Structure 1
Amino acid sequence: MIMTGLGVSFLLVCFFIISLFLYMLRSRNIHIWFSAYVLHLLKRKIQIEATPIYIFFCVVDHFEPRWNHATYEQECQRVDIWVKQYPIMALNHRDSRGRPYQHTFFYPEEEYRTEHLDKLARIHKNGFGDVEIHLHHNNDTSQNLRETLIRFKTILHDTHGLLHKNRDTGNVEYGFIHGNWALDNSRPDGKWCGVNDELIILRETGCYADFTYPSAPDVTQTQKINSIYYATDDPQQPKSHNTGIDVEVNRPPSGDLMIIQGILTLNWRTRKWGIFPRIENSELSGDNPPVSSRVDLWIQQHIHVSGQPKWIFVKLHTHGAQEENCNMLLGEPMNKMLSYLETTYNDGIHYKLYYVTARELYGLIKAAEKGENKEPDQILEQMYADGGNIHS
């Protein structure tokens, strides 16, 4: 009877733990990507025989000065603190080439102000980063979306000297982050987008790649994680980027749009209630500041172009206009993290570190896809010589 009682108690405990685990998966939408996470764990341990390993480090910023219904004075303060303090911080951190840390501001179309973009353009022209396109929209139409993107990219290029023209086509190109994570109408309730053919429209209006994801724990998170891939749009269905074909060395481009994802995994070093791992979703925030253990975890995920395992792409995201995040990004937490990155992953023998913008990250991905045998330094120098042009 004692053994039977212990057996029943054990089964009850197991049932409780399993039920709690399943609840956690559902409550944080981990069930969307959990199978891909398990598969990624099995696949990521690729043997890299030659060194050094190249680390390409990129931070993309959902930069929203009007966040939380800010007054005009608050908007200006949020932009000005970046203009004044960011270059000073960036100059204290250098990569393997001696280049300062880089930051890419994805600026919302619906928050456009000439004076804000003029200031961010100075950061770009002084060599500390770049500006790309961010967009929040709701209940939109394909035609209006197309007109909005064309109008905004033209303003950024013609008025502020931002973005780049494709040398072959003459078209202005841009990187993109979707507001509220709802790329291609990916929310189940249909909010914050409304356009099922968004990937096609992005491609046709000059978008070179999307940098929205990961979005976990949001419900918009894709099934595919820790990947650089091409998504093909089904204009009759939402969330066509849920799956796709990995970018691969010597494989021709495919689909409608390249999706460049950041890191998404479970962090078993920090656990809720001491049991369940927390989600590592590449976010830099006041509530989730960068620390050395996160740096190691980012690099361990080994996001790369299939067939080029020596090149590791680390893409993080933030909302840098929010005060609590700004203080972290321009203060001691970010400084300590970058110093650890430079000390641990930039010895020139085992690792070489590159601080890159979103567009440069894309250019390196395209070079890997084409099977370029050049060193990253040469590839980036060629991009600069071509005025930022990336050859398809």
Structure 2
Amino acid sequence: MSLHLTSPDPEMRASWSRTLSRLPLLAYRALRWRALRGGWLPEYLRRRRFDRRSFAPGQTIDVMVLTADHYEPAKRFGDAAAVESVRSWCAAYEKMARKHGDADGRPPQHTWFYRYDYPNRDCVQALSESVFRGFGEVEFHLHHDHDTHETMAATLRDGVNWFGRCGAMRTAEERPRQLFGYVAGNSALDNGARDDSLSGCDTEISALRDAGCYADFTFPSLGSPAQPRKCNTHYYATEDGRPKSYHNGVDVEVGRAPSGDLLLFQGPITVDWHMGGMEDGALENSSRPHPRRLAGLLAGNVHVTGRPEWIFVKTHTHAMQNRDSFLSADMDAMYEAMETWWNRPPFRLHYVTAREAYNIVKAAEAGCSGDPNDYRDYLIPPPANRVVSCNLPWLLHSYTPERIHVEVLQEGPARLEFAGRPLRSIAGRVREVEAEFHDGELIGLRIEGEGPFEVDCSEGAGMESARAAYAT
């Protein structure tokens, strides 16, 4: 039977009789899981649910789908086992994702918020290889405790430098910058749980800002005392020196100047009257993916004020611990349902990473309109590991259409690959590479290291003119 017949319409609303019948179950679940903690219900009731009827006939409605994965490989079985689990996870995910595509021809984009409290480079290397193949990006996740502003700042600084040696959180541009998205471990952003064993840093908002964090992607977190009052919106939080500085803030709005210290990018919170529960975008073994969940995700109506036709659907998961549900036929069916319902008029589907979602939000804030696909790289370019891959620790020094400059930081046999360039790869005991291009041709190539080197270029790439530039 086709999905068109088995997947419920995500805009279908529950009848009054069904709503009333679900009230006891909803009340029980809200009390059982303390789901109303944080005081978000008044804000939820104030905001409008998604309603297609509020749009003009023929208006395109763009839906941006983002998965924020609190990616936590287990270290209790040893480093090698952790690496193997990541590689097998990526292989299974890529196999599933290749079957799907959005309006722009891109597969689902995964954002791995990797736990820096377990700095296993080979795990991040495996993720970086998946990034290079086009399946997502790596960002910053951290569990920490009893921190001060100074210790938190040092951890963030060291972490960003460490990730940058795998090409993550380092922009591919002429003068690369270290920028990152963030998810707080245990949802305890800014000591918002008021438990020093889960954070301790009351000034985490400013520490993140100063370290190069462009946005936080922690919330929603139903049942957590750290859940903010604000919901179903993107907003700026201002550091006030006290825990949970983000409890209130200023919504991102078209034509309004940014304010505050850090943008909080939220996913939806909605009441699911069909099922008698609450939808917060969690994709876990206890809240499995399913096509019927699209209704609650869309109903959150998360958008930049003044740009209601750009809807953001952020899901979140611990997909390593919950791989049985995330890498399942259920998730496969959920992607298919998104492409069935959200990739036909009036909808247009876009799978995005955290960075791309942030860029689209900032484009909306600046007054941009039209196709959000045009703004995936609006302010922050792709990370280095999206365009260059290296099996050893490395650092991108410069990346432009005319020039690439890469340094390999560890001795040994290296293999570098380059995406979308006439120079495809270089292998050997490489220390440094500098390549120059003009009109789609390689016109200069400097390689420092211990030769010989194996260089692979596309046909007609101007290799002969560059060959004399080798330095061994």
1:346 to 335, 343, 346: 343
Deviation sequence 1:17-67 (CA, Å, 0-9, x none): 99x959944861415222122212x56558222521000000010000027
Q: Deviations over 1:208-249 (max 9, x none)?
A: 0000001111221111111100001111x1001111110000
Specify the alignment match of 2:99 in structure 1: 92
Q: Are the aligned partners of 1:104 and 1:130 in contact in 2 as well (CA < 8 Å)?
A: yes
Equivalent runs, 1:281-300 vs 2, <5 Å: 281-300=280-299
Amino acid in the other structure paired with 2:184: H
Do the aligned residues in 1 keep the contact of 2:50 with 2:298 (CA within 8 Å)? no
After superposition, the C-alpha distances for 1:146-166 in whole angstroms (9 at most, x for unaligned) are 111111111111x11112339
Structure 1 match to 2:355: 359
1:9 equivalent in structure 2 = none
Bigger drift between 160-169 and 95-104 goes to: 160-169
Q: Which has the higher contact order (CA 8 A, sep 6+)?
A: 1
Q: Is the 8 A contact 2:280 2:297 kept in 1?
A: no
Q: Is the 8 A contact 1:166 1:173 kept in 2?
A: no
1:216 counterpart residue number: 222
Structure 1 letter corresponding to 2:228:
T
Cα-to-partner distance string for 1:286-332 (whole Å, 9 max, x where unaligned): 1211212211211122100000000000001000111xx21222220
Alignment correspondent of 2:186: 180
From the two aligned structures, give the one with the greater strand fraction: 2
TM-score, length of structure 1 as denominator length: 0.85
In structure 2, the CA distance between the partners of 1:24 and 1:43, relative to structure 1 (3 Å rule), is closer
> Hey, what does 1:261 align to over in structure 2?
266
* 2: CA distance, partners of 1:258 / 1:27: 28
- Measured after TM superposition, the shift of residue 71 of structure 1 is 3.8
Gaps of at least 5 residues in structure 2 are 1-22, 385-472
Q: Secondary structure at the match of 1:155?
A: helix
Return the match for 1:53 from 58, 61, 78. Answer: 61
Does structure 1 retain, via aligned residues, the 8 Å contact 2:149–2:204? yes
Partner of 1:162: 168
1:279 Cα deviation (Å)? 2.2
Q: 1:8: which partner in 2? A: none
Q: Distance in 1 between matches of 2:378 and 2:42?
A: 40
Counterpart residue type for residue 274 of structure 2: R
Letter of the aligned partner of 2:267 in structure 1? G
Equivalent pairs counted in the alignment come to 358
Q: CA deviation at 1:167?
A: 6.0
d(CA) in 1 for partners of 2:109, 2:279: 22
Give the alignment of 1:98-109 within 5 angstroms.
Answer: 98-109=105-116
CA distance in structure 2 between the aligned counterparts of 1:356 and 1:264, rounded to whole angstroms: 20
**Higher percent of residues as helix:** 1
In structure 2, relative to structure 1, the CA distance for the partners of 1:27 and 1:125 (3 Å cut) is: closer
| Counterpart secondary structure, 2:190 | helix
Shift of 1:342: 0.2
Code of the residue aligned with 1:307 in structure 2: it is G
CA distance in 1, matches of 2:79, 2:382: 35
Aligned residue identity for 2:159: F
Greater Rg by CA: 2
Structure 2 Cα separation of the partners of residues 207 and 66 of structure 1: 26
Task: Name the CA shift for 1:161/1:23 in 2 (closer, same or farther; >3 Å).
Answer: closer
Secondary structure of 1:353 counterpart? strand
* Residue 144 of structure 2 corresponds to residue 137 of structure 1: yes
The answer as to whether partners of 1:29 and 1:219 remain within 8 angstroms in 2 is no
Query: Conserved in 1, the CA contact under 8 Å of 2:69 and 2:318?
Result: yes
User: For residues 308-361 of structure 1, what are the alpha-carbon distances to aligned partners after superposition, in whole Å with 9 as ceiling and x for unaligned?
Assistant: 000000001000111xx21222220100000011011101x2111001101000
Q: Any residues of structure 2 matched to 1:228-307 within 5 Å, and which? A: 228-235=234-241, 237-271=242-276, 278-307=277-306
**Which sits farther off after the overlay, 54-63 or 185-194?**
185-194
**Inter-CA distance 57–124: structure 2 relative to 1 (3 Å threshold):** same
Is 1:28 aligned to 2:29, yes or no?
A: no
Give the aligned partner of residue 317 of structure 2. Answer: 318
Taking structure 1 as reference, are residues 214 and 160 closer, same or farther at Cα in structure 2, changes over 3 Å only?
Answer: same
Query: Percent identical across equivalent pairs?
Result: 35
Task: Check conservation: 1:346, 1:352, Cα contact below 8 A.
Answer: yes
AA in 1 matched with 2:286 = D
Which residue does 1:76 correspond to in 2?
A: 83
Q: Equivalent residue of 1:94, what SS?
A: coil
CA distance in 2, matches of 1:178, 1:24: 24
Q: Partners in 1 of 2:29 and 2:291 — Cα distance?
A: 30
Cα deviation, 1:48-105, whole Å, max 9, x if unaligned, reads 22521000000010000027x4443542342122232111111101000111111010
Amino acid at match of 1:33: W
Length-normalised TM-score, structure 2: 0.71
Contact kept? 1:62, 1:134, Cα under 8 Å: yes
Distance 1:78 1:36 in 2: 41
Tell me if structure 1 keeps the 8 A contact 2:342–2:348.
yes
CA distance 1:23–1:62, shift in 2 (3 Å): closer
Contact 2:170 2:176 in 1 (8 A): no
Contact kept in structure 2, 1:185 and 1:191, CA below 8 Å = no
* Alignment partner of 1:122 is 2:117: no
**Distance apart, 1:170 and its partner CA:** 5.0
Check 1:77–1:165 CA distance in 2 against 1; reply closer, same or farther (3 A cut).
closer
Q: 1:115 to 1:369 in 2, by over 3 A?
A: same
Unpaired runs of 5+ in structure 1?
A: 1-16, 272-277
In the other structure, the counterpart of 2:366 is 370
